[in-house]
Amino acid sequence: QVHLVESGGGVVQPGGSLRLSCAASGFMFSNYGMQWVRQAPGKGLEWVAFIRYDENNKYYADSVKGRFTISRDNSKNTLHLQMNSLRVEDTAVYYCMKDAAGYGDYPYYSDYWGQGTLVTVSS
C-alpha cells in the first residue's frame, strides 16, 4: 500500500528557510516522478515543483523559482523541498504527490497524495 508522509512544516519568519521531507513507501520510489503542490488556507491548489524519477529534470512554478529546490534520495525513498527566502504568501499546506505513471520526463497526474504539512510564514 502506497504511503506518503510529509514532515518539516512549522512557523518561520519572512526571509527564513525550511526543509520539507516526504517519506515514501509501498511502491518503487526510484521509478516515479514526484511533485509538490500547495494549498493556502481556504484556497485552491497551486502546483509547486516536479522532479523526474532519476532527478535529471526539475521544474518549478514561477512563484517559487530561485527560492525553492526540489530533490530526492532514491536510496532512502525520500523527497525533499528546500524553501529559502520564505514570504508570507508561501503560507500553505504542502502536499507531496506520486506520479500515476512511471519514468515520465514531465509532471503527470498524481494518483497518491500525502496528508500535507503546514508551513506558516509570519512575523
Q: Which residues bind another protein (CB under 8 A)?
A: 35, 37, 44-47, 50, 59, 61-62, 95, 100, 106-111, 113-116
Contact residues for 45 (Cβ-Cβ < 8 A; gap 6+): 37, 38, 39
Nearer to another protein, 14 or 111 (CB): 111
Please, what is the minimum distance in Å from the beta carbon of residue 47 to another protein?
4
Q: How far apart are CA 53 and CA 64, in angstroms?
A: 21
Please, what is the minimum distance in Å from the beta carbon of residue 29 to another protein?
18
3-state secondary structure of 89: helix
Nearer to another protein, 27 or 113 (CB): 113
Q: How far apart are CA 33 and CA 101, in angstroms?
A: 8
Residue 97's CB is within 10 A of a number of other CB atoms, namely 24
Please, what is the minimum distance in Å from the beta carbon of residue 14 to another protein?
26
Nearer to another protein, 68 or 114 (CB): 114
Please, what is the minimum distance in Å from the beta carbon of residue 45 to another protein?
4
Q: How far apart are CA 68 and CA 76, in angstroms?
A: 21
